[in-house]
Structure 1
Amino acid sequence: MKVKRIVLASRPGSDGEPTKENFRLEETDLTEELADGQVLAQTLYISVDPCLTKCVLDGSSLTKIGRFFGCSRIIGICGTDEKCSVLTSDFGFDAALNYKKAGLADKLRECCPSGVDVYFDNVGGEISDLVISQMAKNSNILVCGQISQYNTDFAYPPPIPAQTAAILKERNITREISVVFDYVDHFEMAIEQLGEWVRTGKLKVKETITHGIENTAGAFLSMLKGGNIGKQIVQITG
């Protein structure tokens, strides 16, 4: 049987961003003669994620869940006006700020005049430093990804700037790094709860679907630059 696969053909250089040339589409043979315990399955969809997917969660979903547990005001930060509109109209955010536009610090201060109490951080870099500079005393940070830093050669998680570290200490801010495999015992319960929220319409799911395995590299690169809205998925055929 002939099948297609995406192969990492080469790696980007030092602190380099990946390009389409780093990937290769291959056709290869797959045996249909199975050994005991093997299963032959057809892949219909694949998830396109950063390599550190064990740490990353879709921020739009998590912050919406925060509403269920008492968050009175939710502010989103994203990179396009379209995404800002989706956050407020579809996900129920109180406000959404485009970090690519001028005046982000002032706009965040207007939204959170008493400071930020909880920060879900899945981007890192300058945006995180800015948000932390406006956090309240005894506030909390949940680090679930640092996508702005994944194309650097820093170890994960990347080092915190001295000024930001000083703010964390001075304001007694708790910063916890979340790794999904630390919560394996909760998987079954979480899947049941999330499924119920989706079925009842309390939790909405957005997906960006790219068609064709040959477009996987492009979908991956787009995801790294924030081109997707919601979960980035590749539909293999059809």
Structure 2
Amino acid sequence: MIVQRVVLNSRPGKNGNPVAENFRVEEVSIPDDINEGQVQVRTLYLSVDPYMRCKMNEDTGSDYIAPWQLSQVVDGGGIGIIEASKHTNLNKGDFVTSFYWPWQTKAILDGNSLEKIKETVINGLENMGAAFQSMMTGGNIGKQIVCISKDISL
């Protein structure tokens, strides 16, 4: 399977300002098959955080933060939806999150490193009353959400 990913293209230097050109998007192939305990996820959201500035240099200035490597995929927090699963507690269609998520469109991840995101979704503004009633009587798992629009383009 071909995916797009973001790699560290160059280092800004210890006192340099990070610029967009420090990163590069490329296409790579990842396996179509997953092993026991793994899931294939489609990435929905990726996080950018201030601590990542340290990861851009070989010397991160910290013993517990490993540097990103040049021409290698970078990582951070992410949220995705499972497209295939060989993990006993995770199923196709589950939303999951992790603090280690490669910056790529799809990934194969160890299911044990993921947290499941629990919510109950009902579609349509006309179902707000039913959703409220369900939430008040314990009919939801996790947060009760009503999807009003699936179009997220601006």
TM category, shorter? 0.3 to 0.5
Q: Which has the higher strand share?
A: 2
Greater radius of gyration (CA): 1
Q: Which has the higher helix share?
A: 1
